[in-house]
Structure 1
């Protein structure tokens, strides 16, 4: 889990934005790092970078992302169905971030998804950063904070805040790491509100978490995670949304190792440093499948700690015969910086010869954990037919 500086929003942080961001930044004939139209000299489909300083729509096609692309508020970057953004293998210098008050409109279709991937000849996890959304929804303790990477504000008091639409979106080879404390993910939602629509998302081969929530209230439907090196699903700092119909898998050939990978890693407040804060994480998860086919283990299948609650139901955990190493814990609701909250409820079926179905740690607050041997429940994989993934 991560450390982020908690700050009040100060206007000086966005000096370049000015007092009135409703008008595009001007000087369209001069390259100034701000893209205001597709005719702007700063726009280059083979060298996409800089600031989106107007409402911009990219037609379907391929674009090469070579550095950070920042969508400035109050503008919207629209990516047509079938758009592919190929990120140069520049690690932490290459990413897409949407500021508070800005929007990403990435509405792919089953036949023509919007894709973010690496431009490397031989792509690898961590080739580039990832996709980041910053919203104005509440975080634990209230107020605002600054993102772990690339220093943008998030948080506020608008649970219904809208950061755009992501539908039929694929993210590959993301998760570049700055150091052991600061990493990009596939999709990172910082204080993202439930006015945002996130559905039909597929995240493959990331070098850190597939998806992480720092507070916020956004709901996610139909999430596919394949071969995340660290956590499949991660939340912290007061996340209260829902995740419905999610399938997360490590494949049989997957051998990458990180220090403490988990199916779910859940913190109530940031790093457990603020256990008395109001607004701790407490999301609802339903229709989740976690599968390990790999010969390397997850530290915990489900880890809920540091004041987080959760209501997890209709879930299936599968440990195949090729997964020769058992997890450290099946469900662990304990931590030196605080256990899961008392209202936590985890119910699932589990299948796997080496799984210990009694390896359950409810913690001092006696979280409700119910595990049954069986293969029913979990995600409806038919929802992921558009990805072509072979289950």
Structure 2
């Protein structure tokens, strides 16, 4: 049976941000999907066709599974935040591409901020006031859709050999769409071989949870490349982020890494704050744009109660690359967490900009072990050959 999933809600951001999690936009009863828009409730919903359109907000509901075959292109045809895919708690997405047939999420307009990206919600723990407190948060696009819980091993599906491009958009000053948003996602979820390019906000953001991500390539994200917050406890392995020469941004404080222990530094007394690992990462700042539009605020920012263990980090600054700080562990809302274990960062810094040679004053903060060496090699770029990106 073939069922086309059609929306009956308005496409304006005001309409979908006010929807209740219980709103039945237009449930489907079949298994074959030829258009994405509305609620998916089938246990075995399968995308049919090598290219299908994403025409509006799409919710994979609890108990439903959306499967996208290798080689499929999902094309967002509606501009801005009016098109996105949100996998709710208890729902799953299975998007398993291959090196020769990756799955591509793209847009008709092919520019940053064209669509709202992929959002996955799970039942894994978040930072919280006490161990016994409810470990839930409100999804940024709708306070009625919750994420988080008490199951660190929660399984929201699998992503492998996936491209996310032209994503990201602001909802308001406190909320935005990223390329890939992971809200309380558990480590039963498998995420590997991800390429996120030309996004208008963060490339990837972890809101709590315990999911591990392996082999992540980020190109030209306008805000943070890698963002961690609200009690994230997983591991990111082999990640490469770059601003290319022609890159420009209108964001006020873009960073390579940004990490908070709790949500936006508002609950510094929380337990179970972010304590995560990064193994093998390269951050490259090659933008030749002068002024703020081409300046990286911090290459690495760890703050607000977060603990980070970062090994084999390579930082490279191009001949015109601008940045404010190399590593900054301080913040007005709270510094990096001192104590046992303390944050530990081991890195190599290479700069071709003679006006920005290495300076100790560009590494700020106490309560962590920061080790500079000349031997860190960063990410293994050979595993990204399937993307076609030229390093």
Query: What's the TM-score bracket when you normalise by the shorter of the two chains?
Result: 0.7 to 0.9
Superposed structure 1 runs of 4+ greater than 3 Å apart: 12-17, 359-362
| 8 Å contact from structure 1 (residues 138, 191) kept in 2 | yes
For 1:303 and 1:256, the matched residues in 2 are separated by: 18
Relative distance call for 1:357 and 1:348 in structure 2 (3 A) is farther
Counterpart in 2 of 1:337? 333
| 8 Å contact from structure 1 (residues 136, 191) kept in 2 | yes
For 2:225 and 2:280, the matched residues in 1 are separated by: 15
Which of 58, 66, 70 is equivalent to 2:47? 58
CA deviation after TM superposition for structure 1 residue 150, in Å:
3.3
- Secondary structure of the 1:195 match is coil
Which of 107, 120, 132 is equivalent to 1:118? 107
1:366 equivalent in alignment to 2:367 = yes
Which of 128, 144, 147 is equivalent to 2:115? 128
| 8 Å contact from structure 2 (residues 349, 358) kept in 1 | no
| 8 Å contact from structure 1 (residues 165, 197) kept in 2 | yes
CA deviation after TM superposition for structure 1 residue 361, in Å:
4.4
Deviates more, 1:163-172 or 1:134-143: 134-143
Counterpart in 1 of 2:347? 348
Which of 137, 143, 149 is equivalent to 2:135? 143
Summarize the alignment of residues 1-391 of structure 1 with structure 2, pairs less than 5 Å apart.
14-15=21-22, 33-38=26-31, 45=34, 47-54=35-42, 55-120=44-109, 123-141=110-128, 142-151=134-143, 152-295=145-288, 296-323=294-321, 325=322, 327-342=323-338, 343-352=342-351, 353=354, 354-363=356-365, 365-372=366-373, 374=374, 376-391=376-391
TM-score by length of 2: 0.87
For 2:45 and 2:116, the matched residues in 1 are separated by: 22
| 8 Å contact from structure 2 (residues 281, 312) kept in 1 | yes
Question: Mind listing any 5+ residue stretches in structure 1 that lack a counterpart?
Answer: 1-11, 18-31
For 1:361 and 1:376, the matched residues in 2 are separated by: 17
What count of residue pairs does the alignment treat as equivalent? 355
For 2:180 and 2:201, the matched residues in 1 are separated by: 10
CA deviation after TM superposition for structure 1 residue 357, in Å:
4.0
For 1:375 and 1:328, the matched residues in 2 are separated by: 24
| 8 Å contact from structure 1 (residues 334, 361) kept in 2 | no
Tell me which protein shows more strand as a share of its residues. 2
CA deviation after TM superposition for structure 1 residue 90, in Å:
2.0
CA deviation after TM superposition for structure 1 residue 16, in Å:
5.1
For 1:91 and 1:389, the matched residues in 2 are separated by: 26
| 8 Å contact from structure 1 (residues 319, 355) kept in 2 | no
For 1:156 and 1:107, the matched residues in 2 are separated by: 26
CA deviation after TM superposition for structure 1 residue 102, in Å:
0.5
